[in-house]
Every structure is written in C-alpha cells, then in structure tokens.
Amino acid sequence: MKLKGVMPALVTPFNDQGKIDFNRFEKLLTKLRDDGVKGWVPCGSTGEYNALTADERLSVLQFVAEFANKDELLIAGTNAGSTWEVIEHTKRARDAGYGTVLLSAPFYATPAPDELIAHYRSVLDAVDVEIVLYNYPPKVGVEVGMAVLEAFADEPRVIGIKESSGNLLRAIDIRSRFGDRYQVTNGSDDQTLDFYLWGATSWICGPANCMARACVDLVNTIEAGDWLAARDKMQVIYGAMSSLESGKFAQKVKYGCELAGTPVGVGRQPLLPLTDEEKAAFKKAMEPVLG
C-alpha cells in the first residue's frame, strides 16, 4: 500500500443511549469523502477502540469497509493489551477486507524493545497483513524506537510508521537512518508542515473528522510544492490543532464534528463531555478553520 493524502483516524459515533450510531457514521463518512480524503482508518485511539467490545470493533470495521470505494485506502486499528488479542483483532480485520493494520505498542504492558519486536513478528507470522507501526508514547508508555525499525528494515510487510510522538527529531532521525525505506505518516497534527518537510507522505489525521477540507487543502498545497502558501494554511489551523494536542483530544474532535454540522455524540466514560467553558474555548479555536 502506498500511503497518501489525508486519511481520517475516524471517531466512533454514538447515539444518546451510548450505542454506535451508524446513521451518523454514514453522514460523517459521506461528508469526509466530499471533502477529499483518501481513505479510512477506523478503530484507532480517536475511535475509542479501547472502549469498544470486540464485536463492536468488528461492526465498525465492516461498516467502513462496505462504505469504502475501491480506490480508497483502508487501514484497520487492531491494537489491544496483549499479542494474543492483537492477533485476534487483526484476523477479524483481514477477514473484513483490510490488508493493512495500524499497530502501536500494546497498552499498559510497556514492552521492552525486544518484546515489542517479538510482538510485531508474532502478528506478521499469524496474519497475512501489512503493518503501519504507530509511535504514540503518551498513550502506551513506550516508544516504537529505532531498534524496532532496524529489526524490520528487511521485512517488506512493515511498510511505514505513524508518528504521533510530537517529536520532530524522530522524523529527521528516520529519514537520516532509513531514507525512504519506511513511509512516514504524520500523526503530530500541530507539526504537519514540519513532518512533511522531513519526509512524511501522508497524514492519518484525527482532526480531519471535523476539519477535513482544511487538512486536505494543506496537504494538496504541500504536494504542489508551494511551501509559503502551505505555511499560511498551517497557521490558519494551528490554533485548533494546538488546542487538540493540549488535552481531551477525542472529546474536542467530537465536539468539532458538531460545529462542522456532522454531530457524532460524545465519548464513552471515562471520557466526559466538554464543559461549557471548554466548548467555548475550542469553538473559538475552530473559528478560523470553519470560517
């Protein structure tokens, strides 16, 4: 798979009873397609995969796969707390039509580098999929370090890495060590311009749920080589991105969807809805984006 363009890390819409709302989901996906996204990444952290049952996760994967067009990229989030669980979710995703999965380190376990390497090898041995590694230390407690990338440099099914570390030096280091061996997809949303400068070719983007058109416009401008115009477009969305990175990410993205006209409900506990003050602050940050 060639990773390209903006791929929303999809929220999971809920209704007022806390159940998955597939009517809202379809409306959201239709709008995002109209806004120009290149594919779909369900059941990631923005999608609250950790708060979904295994059957709910499968229902989300199946729904998105059935909605997707043949020319749209499909990447399934299949992370869990143990290698055994990850393999089971990955098998289900493969059966649902996903040839590529996005995998951070198992949460809570904080595996050492050799354990993390063995974890990914076990998934590759068990399921015929490609893997996009996912470096997100704030969520899982460990980094997908250079030792992991070194270990899989000759494994063609490990195709890339999503960088959500917030550390631009990671992108520079990956490019310096590996050239274009790994496709880098940006996940540090407030540093998108910088990560593209250092070799990112795509953006798996939680904020795209509520501001896809602006995100797509930014990436199109970068790909056209107009870096000064891209800098100006990054400045427009920076306030909202900075707010998202400051905390309560999933809640703000979901509230942003409401502001953008595609309400998706609120998160599952322990996530609580934003307070009125938090809503007002994020709405102000979104004003330049929404016009």
Closest CA to 208 of 36, 75, 21: 36
H-helix or E-strand spanning residue 159? strand 158-163
Answer yes or no: 134 catalytic.
Answer: yes
Question: Which residue in the list 98, 134, 238, 255 is annotated as catalytic?
Answer: 134
The DSSP annotation for 110-129 comes to ---HHHHHHHHHHHHHHS--
Answer yes or no: 4 catalytic.
Answer: no
Question: Which residue in the list 162, 233, 252, 254 is annotated as catalytic?
Answer: 162
**Three-state SS at 275:** coil
**Residue 114 contacts by C-beta under 8 Å, 6 or more apart in sequence?**
none
**Three-state SS at 136:** coil
Strand order in the sheet with 100-103: 5-8, 200-205, 183-186, 158-163, 130-135, 100-103, 76-77
**Residue 169 contacts by C-beta under 8 Å, 6 or more apart in sequence?**
none
List the catalytic residues.
Answer: 134, 162
